[in-house]
């Protein structure tokens, strides 16, 4: 019994990494996916670059192993080919990098603003709140506008009142 209690004392229910609280009961690979900008493939690459068992619970890791994971997440863009990062050929710097957390939101907002400033097709669609990636709009994505059925009902009521 004392050994089990000792293990429970060492177990971290919350692991802090990249300003994110990770659930300590999840395996390392899946816990890393809670960081915005890190998907399952990126998490697997990060864990495989270290000597940590991917099926081990992240709450059971030692502090030096957690630091090793943090360093590996920071160096992710240096370890992988350019097609595996989420920011290829950055318009400002021209380099390939992997963007995480708040920086990801900022970069996305800047990209949309740039498209709107140059009045590209995508920028205009963003301004109008319409679909951007070529989806159909005739029968889908109708939130925030009048529907044809409502117009017919309004006409029928207006026509009935005139009689």
- Give me the DSSP letters along the chain: -HHHHHHHHH--SEEEETTEEEETTSBHHHHHTTSTT--HHHHHHHHHTTT--TTSBGGGS-HHHHHHHHHHHHTHHHHS-GGGSSB-S-TTT---B---HHHHHHHHHHHHHHHHHTT-HHHHHHHHT--SSS---SSS--TTS--HHHHHHHHHHHHHHH-
Question: Mean pLDDT in the chain?
Answer: 83
Question: In this predicted model, what pLDDT tens digit does every residue of 111-157 receive, in sequence order?
Answer: 999 999 999 999 999 998 888 888 888 887 777 665 556 667 777 88
Question: In this predicted model, what pLDDT tens digit does every residue of 67-110 receive, in sequence order?
Answer: 999 888 888 888 888 888 888 888 888 888 888 888 888 988 99
Percentage with pLDDT > 90 across the chain: 17
Span 2-80: which CATH code? Answer: 1.10.8.50
């Amino acid at each position: 019994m004392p050994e089990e209690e000792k293990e429970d004392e060492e177990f971290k229910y919350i692991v802090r990494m990249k300003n994110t609280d990770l659930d300590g009961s999840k395996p390392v690979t899946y816990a890393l996916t809670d960081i915005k900008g890190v998907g399952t493939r990126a998490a697997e690459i990060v864990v495989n670059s270290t000597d940590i068992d991917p099926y081990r619970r992240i709450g059971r890791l030692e502090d030096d192993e957690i630091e090793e994971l943090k360093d590996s997440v920071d160096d992710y863009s240096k370890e992988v080919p350019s097609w595996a990062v989420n920011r290829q050929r950055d318009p400002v710097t021209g380099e390939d990098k992997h963007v995480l957390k708040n920086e990801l939101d900022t970069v996305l907002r800047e990209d949309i603003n740039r498209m709107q400033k140059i009045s590209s097709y995508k920028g205009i669609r963003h301004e109008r709140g319409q679909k951007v990636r070529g989806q159909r709009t005739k029968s889908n994505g109708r939130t925030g506008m009048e529907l044809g059925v409502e117009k017919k009902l309004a006409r029928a009521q207006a026509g009935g009142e005139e009689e």
